[in-house]
Amino acid sequence: MPGKYEPGDLVCLNQYGLFITSDYEGLIGIIISEPYSIIAPIETIMDTFYTVYDILLDGELFKMVPEEFMEKYENHEKDST
């Protein structure tokens, strides 16, 4: 299944991810699984799938984190010269 991320990509939680927990604001995580699909447990129509990943964030494993809750970490360091 194609996904937005692949194992080894660095990510951080976006506004949606921080809505669930703000304890990890500003921390960088790493994708440790291939993308996989789940069906939302509260959906009455069984055709709503979400692409999710397992990520390691601050030494803690988080399973089934929706793709929409993350953004790719981009290190924008300024040139010091």
Could you read off the pLDDT of 2-37 as tens digits, one per residue?
A: 789 999 999 999 988 887 778 888 899 999 999 999
pTM: 0.77
Does 80 have pLDDT greater than 80? no
Residue 55: how many CB atoms within 10 A of its CB? 25
Residues 6+ apart with CB under 8 A from 2: 35
Query: Which amino acid, 46?
Result: M
